[in-house]
Structures are given as C-alpha cells and as structure tokens.
Amino acid sequence: MKLFLAFTFAVFSFGTYAQKVDLDRFSFDYSHLKLPQEYVEPAKRTYGVRVETDAKIVPADAIYDRIRLSGYQLVESKPTVGVLVYFSSFLLTGAELRERIEEVKDKEGRVTSKKYFYLMQVSYRSQGGYKITGPTALGAQKAKEQEKVVSTNRFLQKAEGLDNTDNNKTIENNTGTFGNTYNTREFNNAREAREYYRDNQLSIKDAIVGEWVAQTTSAANNQLAQRYGFEEVRGRDHLWILDSNKHPEYATQQEAIKAVKTLMATMNSQNSISSLATNLAPVMEYFQELKTKYKLDEKPDRKMRYSAYYNLACLYYYLDQPEKMMEEAEGLIKNDYDTRDGRRFIELAQELRADLDRQKTNSRHFE
C-alpha cells in the first residue's frame, strides 16, 4: 500500500510540475529620449542658426526653420551650439542623352523584341554645406587640465589670456558635390527627351536644388541630434508571456501583460516615469515570485524562469534601472535556457549606464 501511494504521489508531482509551457511574444509601446554624445549643462542648452546663401539659389528664410535641435532653445546671439548652413553657388554645366534597352524574351530565352527608353542626364556644379560648432567632452577635459596647470604655477597665474581656452569643436560637411548628375524621367524617343530638357531647365534646376537643400539640412539635423539633441524615440518591444491556456499561470500571465500594455502606453518622453515605476511594481513582483515558484531543473520550469528574468530585465531597461537590469540578465545566463538574451541585456545595461552617467542624469525622460 505504501509503495502504491508513493508511486501515485510521484506521478501527481510530475504532472503538476511538467505542465506544457509555450511562450509567445506580447508587445507593448514605449517612449523615451535618445541621450546625445556630448554633455551640455541644462542652463546652457541654446543653439543659433546662421544661413549664408545666394537668393538666386534658395532664399535664406527657407532654411532657418529647417534646422532644429531638440531640447535646446533657439537664440539670436551667443549660442552654446552654433550652426552655419551655406549655399554659395550652383550651375548647370550640360546634359547628355542616355539610352536604355529593355529586351522581351520568350520561354526559351530568345529575344523577341526590344523597347527603347531615353532620358537626359544633367550635370551640374555646386558649392555648399554646413558647419556645427559646439562644446565637447575632450575640450572640457583639456580646459580642466590647463586650469590645474595654471593654478599650481605662480608665473602662469599672472599671465593674460589663458582663461580663454576654446572648448569647442567644429564639424564641417561639404555637400556641394551631392548628386553631381541628375536624371530626368524617361521618354519613348530621343527627341522628346531633348525637348523636355530644353523647355524645362528652370524646373530641373529647382528640383536639383530642392533635393540638395533637403539633403544638406537633413545631414545637419542628424549631426546635431547625434551630438547634442534629445530626440524622442518611440517604438515597440515585447515580453515573453505564457500562451498555454491549460497551465495554472495562464490567466495571471494574461492579466500581467494587459497591465503592462496599459501602463506602458502612458509612458511619455516629456514626463517623469516615477509613477509608472510605482504602478508596474505589482506586476514585477509577480515575475520575481515565478523565479522561486518554478525552481526545478526541468525544461518547463526553466522556461518559466526564463520568461521571468527576461521580462524583468526588459522592464528595468525602460524604467532606466541598468543595475537591476544587469542582475536579471545575469540570472538569465545562469538559468541556461537562452544565454544569448542575457548577454544582450548586459550590453544594453552597460550602454544605458554610460549614457546616463555622461548626461549626469538618472532618466531618459524630462523630469
């Protein structure tokens, strides 16, 4: 009788802990700021724009409003970050007729007919680009080093002009060679292509200049954003949630992901996430409990622990808590179900910590 009871208990235990575990991706939305490469004190986050252009090429007023630096105030004088956009010259230098042949083949690959298309390839010369001047971490470091040298040298302390160290760096990009040829649309015969170029040189010039201006201002804005801007990043990520409806955790897991979706939808790069962290705490406590609730070394339990570690690491990332994220990532690796995710989360946590430290902040959201 005792042997029968022991056997029954063993079967029951295996049935309880060997529940089928299917995990599926369930997505949620997020919004945060991309932290820039260079640090500027909040009180000094200003930028200015200067445009130098020939009005025959493009009016200056058409350029000013295209240059933007998120998180900075536009000022008329003494900006911390200065932007110069210039379009000095533009000239159409000629055009050549280009032919394209399109062959029609049968099933055996034999050419049965040919179609001919013609366009005018327009050549031009241009001169223009942009310059960005602003502070850099390297410049600030050199200034501190010089200040230290001066402060410990009795002769340098009385020297003039040493306090005017330029911490700025200028980034210059010449976009004047952008697209030095331009193709018109295609025509069915050469005469139409030539006549189109002859009769539409002004509109062709406007099209080329418009593309050139758009390319230049876009490149300037991208460089500004990369080095100094606080651009909003919106996207979608996922958690691994139980999708086995016969598993005892199924209903709770579905409630958990619905809560995460609802709460993460309130995330805004312009607002603090302290309330969001408080509201997510019960869900995250639930994921924490799963790590000890499913503690066997069997695959179903390891998958449950995997989802718990993964989900916590992911949420800590968006809550700007890289140290806690690192702990969950290390747990992922030790759990040995999918160690690649653990290593990836560690890299993300290290990058996040470096970004936050560089900007002397603890959040990717405006407080």
pLDDT of 18 above 90? no
Task: Collect contacts of 91-96 with beta carbons under 8 A, ≥24 apart.
Answer: 91/124, 91/125, 91/126, 92/122, 92/123, 92/124, 92/201, 92/204, 92/205, 93/123, 93/124, 93/125, 94/122, 94/123, 95/120, 95/121, 95/122, 95/123, 95/197, 96/120, 96/121, 96/123
3-state helix, strand, coil in the chain (%, to 5): 45, 25, 30
pLDDT in tens, 256-303: 999 999 999 999 999 999 999 999 999 999 999 999 999 999 999 999
pLDDT at residue number 8: 43
pLDDT at residue number 89: 93
pLDDT in tens, 291-323: 999 999 999 999 999 999 999 999 999 999 999
Q: Is the dihedral of CA 326, 327, 332, 336 positive or negative?
A: positive
pLDDT of 181 above 80? yes
pLDDT of 2 above 60? no
Q: What is the rounded average pLDDT for all residues in the chain?
A: 90
Q: How confident is the model at residue 152 (pLDDT cuts 50, 70, 90)?
A: confident
- Average pLDDT, integer, range 229-251: 96
Strands 111-135 and 168-174, by their bridges, are antiparallel
Q: How confident is the model at residue 137 (pLDDT cuts 50, 70, 90)?
A: confident
pLDDT at residue number 255: 98
SS3 310: helix
Spell out the domain ranges in the chain: 19-33+232-358, 42-134+169-227
pLDDT at residue number 303: 96
39 CB neighbour count, 10 Å cutoff: 17
pLDDT of 1 above 50? no
pLDDT at residue number 171: 80
Where is pLDDT greater, at 182 or 3? Answer: 182
pLDDT at residue number 13: 40
SS3 121: strand
pLDDT at residue number 174: 83
pLDDT of 156 above 70? no
pLDDT in tens, 81-136: 999 999 999 999 999 999 999 999 889 889 899 999 999 999 999 999 999 999 99
